Amino acid sequence: MKLWGDGVMEYWAESRNPTLQHSNTPSSSRSLIFAMSTTGDHSPLAAELRKISGLKVKMAEPLARYTSMKVGGSADYFLEVENEAALAELVRVLNGHQESFWLLGNGSNVLISDRGVRGAILRLTGEFKIIQFEEMAGIAKVTAGAAVSIGQLARDTARRGYAGLEFAEGIPGSVGGALYMNAGAYGSELEQVVDQVELMTARGEPLCLTRGEMTFSYRDAHLPSGAVVMRVRMGLRKEEPAQVSARLRELARKRKASQPSGSPNSGSMFRNPPGDYAGRLIDAAGLKGTRIGACQISERHGNFIVNQGGAKAAEVRQLMELAKSEVRKKFGIELVAEVKLLGDWQSQ
């Protein structure tokens, strides 16, 4: 089993892929192109899925509407999970059928193939969108469901005078995805405020990890293999609401001034290499504004690719490959994709 972060977390039944890794850190020996399910007749699984209370089942569901780039084909199964009991049963059923499945957050860190995804896409909703607040001795404990928008949570906590999440304003992902990717900006990362994490294991059993039991690194929380994030508890400082909100507005202003807005995009396409910035390298390679079909490397920020209307996933990938090639040629630096490729890319 393997999982990825905010755009998508990925899983396979253990008997089919016993050697896959759980780490989000790229390696030269592991492809970012996900394998496809070989399941044939879907009807027995579909019938069993429809018996699960708290689960909404859609067949051949178009996925472009669920991603921030607004591209991609359909999924065989699109499963909206409303509560913990439904999630536990669903994981057991899918593993029992040896069906591949992927957890999709807010779709901000994924590029889905135009040919779609064979297998199941899971999306958390219902009780996974609940936020709970608790104050004690100047510390605010905030427990957020994995499906909560991390940017909205940053704004909600700022209004209450809870400090520590201001950097997350404008990050388009979910809380679960932000945890998995150890999302960060402006010198801060989520690991700095995480207190406790509630997971669903690959066996469909709940698991709680404290901060001391977790290991974080750049854009990786190193979660247990196949685990699904359900809730994240954070410890934030109590300050004057006006001061926290002012800091959040200033960071929002900086983000708006430097990043594209108004056109669909997936956020940062590449990780920053050590001691440098992917956007600077792409800009220095003369690629800002470069266009293939209906997608374009942003004229405002080189590490963003925007959909100008009607773009294809294949066109986005071509621009990514162009950026990697030119940066490698001019600077000898190998850019590593932050966006994950999901679906049938072999035939494109």
DSSP conformation class of 165: -
Q: Are 105 and 149 in contact (CB under 8 A)?
A: no
Q: Checking DSSP bridges between strand 194-200 and strand 206-210, what pairing results, if any?
A: antiparallel
Q: Checking DSSP bridges between strand 117-124 and strand 101-104, what pairing results, if any?
A: parallel
For the annotated catalytic residues, the residue numbers are 219, 268, 338
User: Could you give the strand order of the β-sheet that contains 117-124, starting from the edge strand earlier in sequence?
Assistant: 8-11, 101-104, 117-124, 74-81, 55-62
User: Concatenated DSSP letters for 214-259?
Assistant: ---BTTB--PPTTPEEEEEEEEEEE--HHHHHHHHHHHHHHHHHHS
Where does residue 65 rank: exposed (0-12), middle (13-18), buried (19+ CB within 10 A)?
exposed
**Angle, to 10 degrees, between the axis of helix 241-258 and the axis of helix 150-160?**
150
How is residue 40 written in tokens?
């044939």
What residues does 235 pair with on adjacent strands? 141
Residue 53: helix, strand or coil by DSSP?
coil
User: Concatenated DSSP letters for 70-87?
Assistant: ----EEEEEEEE-SHHHH
* CA dist., res. 228 & res. 251, Å (int): 30
* CA dist., res. 50 & res. 47, Å (int): 5
Residue 270: helix, strand or coil by DSSP?
strand
